[in-house]
Every structure is written in C-alpha cells, then in structure tokens.
Amino acid sequence: MTQAQPTGPVSSAAPAEPRTYQVRTYGCQMNVHDSERLSGLLEAAGYRRAADDEDADIVVFNTCAVRENADNKLYGNLSHLAPRKQANPNMQIAVGGCLAQKDRDTVLRRAPYVDVVFGTHNIGSLPVLLERARHNREAQVEILEALQEFPSALPAARESAYAGWVSISVGCNNTCTFCIVPSLRGKEVDRRPGDVLAEVQSLVDQGVLEVTLLGQNVNAYGVSFADPDQPRNRGAFAELLRACGTIDGLERVRFTSPHPAEFTDDVIAAMAETPNVCPTLHMPLQSGSDRILRAMRRSYRAEKFLGILERVRAAIPHAAITTDLIVGFPGETEEDFQATLDVVEAARFASAFTFQYSKRPGTPAAELPDQIAKDVVTERYQRLLALQERISLEENQAQVGRTVEVLVATGEGRKDAATARMSGRARDGRLVHFNPGGADIRPGDVVTTTVTAAAPHHLIADGPLHTHRRTRAGDAHAAGLRPRTGVGLGMPRIGAPPPAPTTTGCSR
C-alpha cells in the first residue's frame, strides 16, 4: 500500500497532519454508544475526527444485523468508497459491529478492498488492526467469540455535551426467536455498580445533565456481574436508579430497555421516588397475542404487560410509555393481530416503534412455517400505524396547556430554521418545538414553557418562555467541547504517520 521509508537523518520539516477518521453508525443505541468508544480509541491513538465535508483517511462502519436490509445498506455504501480506495491506497476502511460478527467470512469476499474486519467483542482492537493492516499491507480480520474486556473501560469521545449513554451490561440471556442479538453480543455480563456510577459521575463532572442507562435487558442487571466477587443481586437495578439520584448535578436519568417478564415493583418504586429519574418508560410489547408471544419465546402475556403499565401509572401518573411492536410474525392470524390492536388501544402508548417482520438468518423464527405474505404484513402494519398515530395524537393533545421543562437539543427539529423554533426533550421524553423569543439559547440549556399545540410525534410551545437557565453543558456545546470517559489500554499512538508505516509489528 505504501513504499518503504528511506533511511537517513530525521527531517526537520513540520510534522504531517494527523490522519483523519469518520465513523458511520447503523442500528440501536448500543451501536451509537459503541461508536463513541471507537471515536475515543482512534483519538487516543492520534487520529483526528474528519469534518463533515472532508474525505476521511479512515472510514469505520459500525454495523447492525437486526434492521432489515442492513447488509445491502452496508455493501452499497462500501461500493461507493471503492473508487476512493483505488485512487488512494493509503485510505483505510474498517467494518465492525453486529453484521461483521455475523458475516465475518462474507465481508472481504464481497468487498475485498476492506482493510479491517472486527466484531462486537473486540472493538478495542481497532487501532492495532488498522496499524497492522498498514504495516503488513493486507487485510486484518479479528472476530472473537467472547468478551475480552468490558467496552466501557475503553476511551469514549461523546457526541453530546449535555446527554450521555452509560452501558450497565452487554449481551442478553433471553432467547427470543426473532432476535439475533444474543448470538452476536453473547451472554449478559453486568458491570459493577461502582464502575457505572463512576462513569456517570465523570460525565456530570464535565457538565452532562442527562444519562441513559443502556442494556439489552436493563432490569436483569445484577444477575451476572463481570466481577466474580460481586454477589448476584436481583434488586441491583432499582438500587442503581436510587444511587443515580444521589449524584449532585445529574438532572435526568433514563434507561432502555427493560423486559416485561422481569420488570419488578422495586423498579417502579425507585422510578417514582427518585426525583431525577424521568417519568418515561420504554417497554417492548412485540405482540398482544399470547399465542404469538409464546412463539416468540417472550415469557410474559398480555395481561401481565398491561398490569405493569397500570402499576407504573398508579405510581407515576404522567409517565409517557413507549413500546416496540412486530407485525406479521410467522403464523400470525387476523385474530392474533386483532389482539395486538386491542392491547395497543388499552395501553395508550405515547409512541411506538413498529416493525414489519422479516426473516433474520440464524434466528429460529426464520425457520418457522406459515411465514406471512408481504402484502398481508404491509396491510396490517398500516392499520396498526393508523391506530397508534391516533392514540399518540390524543395523548399529546392532552399535554396542551401544561408547563414543560425542556432540555434543549441539537438536530431534533428538521424544520427549526424555517419555523424559527428550537427543539428539545421534555422530562417525559416527548419532543418539544418551542419559540425561543429571541433569547440566546444553546443546546444544553434548560427552558420551561407551556405547550400550545400537538401533533402525533411532537409538541409545540409557541408562547413566551417562562424560564431559561444557562448551563455548563450549554457552555461546553457552544465551545465545541465533547465529554470524554474511559481509560486508555496501552493503545499505540499512531498520530501523523510518516510516508511509510512503522515497523513495530504492533499486536495485542
């Protein structure tokens, strides 16, 4: 890829600019947070984040294997980079994440110009693999079958100055027949509470106001700590929520996603009694049919699910509850689908992420008989969407006249420039477009305002602001500062490489 470096005295010329990188992320919040770690690793190794309009020296794809057509999207985007790679062999392309873990033998066959392929269990290897690929002038593939080090120990360059993800566990012990995540992320491993709280404290010390606790099944937290000296503790998640409530300066705590089968009353009590835990809950239903839930291996039934919502609303009357729904699971009859509509009507979700079922190779559901015709799935999906849109609108219209506290965000309102509004999230997670009234408001600041109108997916507050609080997070955002967490793990500093690669033969 590069020519050998001539020997001789060291040049006194100014050092070359650091190589630049770009991380492109597909998929869930866990992937988004993993991308923050990838960015942190690359910056710790001496790379510089490329500007949005700049062609990066290194492009990293952090992939998803759950979303429909994830592979087509990846390979389509890879093909767009092929001409750049051909014109500049020093450019590097890396593919990681869930799709790389699943299709390890396919990536290089379909895109032989890729330099590095790495999996979900070894994201910390990326800088070394990139350097090894440059040095050896051949592609490097490293896919591990089990977690080697907890990824939250890796350095992370955070995307937001005011809100941060904090992983409390990785992996999942459930066996839902439609889901490939356990085979790609592995069995659940939980972080020690002290480590989680230390990361939260580090973010708050840097001005962050809101954290979201992440896990494939957050309310199973405590069943399998990474530390063998940490005893199993079924009440650990509720205790963690309460502990977050003691962190001075932490204004909002969210979490995603719990599993209905393991959602316990101690968590509801912790939510209701801890002031900075937000009145919002994302609780995946998937189907309202008990027969389909059994086929999905979802170990709860519709009655239990609705009972949880009833107890949550009794303790937190204004909680905004959201969900996930799958339409057209194999064997779903019209009667099964009607059961889903009935539960959705009863649940009164603030919003729902609705998906049309599609086969995922490697999942048990892909081999089930009675796969539903695409046109039937689409027609049912449209009916479910119409029902949820109506409910979402009604629930949002009930917010009109209420005063809401909004954490101002960036990129939330696509029409803000045209409407002269700004946008952010209320404490219950609803998106609010508000009139700043000419005030100098920054993302990361906090305002209070009154809701004047509603749509299915957002609230509008066009009246005057009641309060505006400037925050350290707003200061950091205005200064272009991003929080950083994690510690380095002895990664080599690559920095601005000379015309030829180093000859250290780095390995881990």
In the chain, the number of structural domains is: 3
**Residues 138 and 169 placed together within one structural domain of the fold:** no
> What's the rounded mean pLDDT across residues 434-451?
96
**Residues 44 and 121 placed together within one structural domain of the fold:** yes
In this structure, what DSSP letter does residue 54 have? S
Domain holding 417: CATH number?
2.40.50
Confirm whether 10 is domain-assigned.
Answer: no
Decide if 346 contacts 307 (C-beta within 8 A). no
Q: What is the pLDDT of residues 218-241, one digit of tens each?
A: 999 998 888 888 888 999 999 999
171: left (phi over 0), alpha (psi -120 to 50) or beta: left
Confirm whether 112 is domain-assigned.
Answer: yes
Cβ within 8 Å of residue 182, ≥6 positions away:
171, 172, 173, 174, 175, 216
Task: Tell whether 179 is in a known binding site.
Answer: yes
Residue 108 pLDDT > 70, yes or no? yes
> What's the rounded mean pLDDT across residues 346-375?
93
Confirm whether 13 is domain-assigned.
Answer: no
Name the pairing type of β-strands 156-157 and 163-167.
unpaired
Residue 343 pLDDT > 80, yes or no? yes
Question: Prior bond to 351 cis, omega within 30?
Answer: no
Task: Tell whether 506 is in a known binding site.
Answer: no
Confirm whether 493 is domain-assigned.
Answer: no
> What's the rounded mean pLDDT across residues 68-89?
86
Q: Alpha-carbon distance 194 to 320, whole Å?
A: 29
Q: What is the pLDDT of residues 389-408, one digit of tens each?
A: 999 999 999 999 999 999 99
What are 111's two structure tokens? 């895109």
Residue 138 pLDDT > 80, yes or no? yes
**Which long-range contacts link 84-90 to residues 24+ away (Cβ below 8 Å)?**
84/55, 85/113, 86/113, 89/1, 89/2, 90/1, 90/2, 90/57, 90/134
Residue 346 pLDDT > 80, yes or no? yes
Task: Tell whether 64 is in a known binding site.
Answer: yes
Domain, as residue range, for 116: 20-142
Confirm whether 408 is domain-assigned.
Answer: yes
In this structure, of 171-175, 477-481, 499-503, the range with the lowest mean pLDDT score is 499-503
Q: How confident is the model at residue 103 (pLDDT cuts 50, 70, 90)?
A: confident
Q: How confident is the model at residue 123 (pLDDT cuts 50, 70, 90)?
A: confident
**Residues 286 and 382 placed together within one structural domain of the fold:** yes
